[in-house]
Structure 1
Amino acid sequence: MFEIASHTYASKLEHYADLADQARGLLAGEHDLIANAANFSALVFHSLPDLNWAGFYLYDGSELVVGPFQGKPACIRIALGRGVCGAAAQSRQTQLVRDVHAFDGHIACDAASQSEIVVPLVKPDGSLLGVWDVDSPQVARFDDDDRAGMEALCAVFMDAFRD
């Protein structure tokens, strides 16, 4: 059984470092994409405050398709270049959006979402696995510490498939 302990952290980055250690333990020895994505989503969703969605969109060769997540039902398919997820997938750059209403072309799967961060998941050969998407009902919930923390978490997730 995997439990998420309640801790007080000196900084947000310290919290992310602890989460990365927990993710390493959770994913150790498991190579199934869906199982790892489901557990990873639950770990992050239940460990970070002020989130209303955390999950994966997986690239099927032509578009992003919703994968394991925590939160309300989501958009099922997203074209590359469309919305925050599509922009991250197409550019292969993390998208940190402090106010989704200011993002041209934002896709409102959940009207409660106010800010969003999306990290592209790129395989060692340079091909796209998908994106990691996290939403919040608060404007400006995510900052550069979240960017660094989410990118580090995603590196742990991708490392689970390198063995």
Structure 2
Amino acid sequence: MSTPATKQEAYKLLLAQTESLLHGERDWLANLAQFAALVYGAVPDLNWAGFYMTRADAEELVLGPFQGKVACVRIAFSRGVCGACARSQQVQLVEDVHAFPGHIACDAASRSELVLPVVVGGKLRAVFDLDSPLPARFTSDDARGFEAALAVLVEGTDWP
């Protein structure tokens, strides 16, 4: 089990890797795809990592770049953990997805979830979703670490 100090070091490394990965590239699709691949490969105990994108004409998320098994393609803001994040624009840290009202089971192996809003210029553009087969996999330290990495992604990306 990792300690807060080792987790802090891991997120410093993830931050540095994100900065390096994005250096010289500003395309939103390429950057989101690379970030999802980086996180999925670098963070232990994940079975899915990726983005759900907002659409201007609907309160709905649409599948974006990700790593893991096939996923739900569309998620209404009114449903599931990703929808709750989109609706509230607040981090959703769920220790047991099966206890979350309205949870959408895209992968029955998922037990816990962390979803973070991706806000650009005051507007929600996406949510970043992390699933784990372990219960209570994510902590507030994880949320803070991913918030910092996503801030680098947002700043280093040209959004459509």
Band the TM-score falls in, shorter-chain normalisation: over 0.9
Write the mapping of 1:62-77 to structure 2, written as runs, cut at 5 A.
62=58, 63-77=60-74
Kindly state the Cα deviation for residue 16 of structure 1 after the two structures are TM-superposed.
0.7
Structure 2 residue corresponding to 1:20, chosen from 12, 15, 18:
15
Give the one of 44, 48, 51 matched to 1:53.
48
Gaps spanning 5+ residues in structure 1: where? Answer: 1-8
Q: 1:135 aligns with which of 131, 135, 138?
A: 131
* Count of paired positions: 154
Name the SS of the counterpart of 2:49 in structure 1. Answer: strand
- 1:1-163 pair list within 5 angstroms: 10-61=5-56, 62=58, 63-124=60-121, 126-161=122-157
> 1:4 matched to which residue of 2?
none
Moved more, 108-117 or 78-87: 78-87
Q: Percent identity?
A: 58
Q: Which runs of 4+ in 1 moved over 3 A?
A: none
Q: Report the TM-score when normalising by structure 1.
A: 0.90
1:64-112 CA-to-partner distances (Å, cap 9, x unmatched) read 1000100000000011131100110110100000100111011000000
The answer as to whether partners of 2:31 and 2:157 remain within 8 angstroms in 1 is no
Aligned to 1:6: none
Unaligned runs of 5+ in 2: none
Distance (Å, rounded) in 2 between the aligned partners of 1:161 and 1:48: 22
SS class of match (1:46) = helix
Deviations 1:122-157, CA, capped at 9 Å, x for gaps: 112x11111000000000000111111111111111
TM-score, normalised to structure 2, is 0.92
Pairwise CA RMSD of aligned residues? 1.5
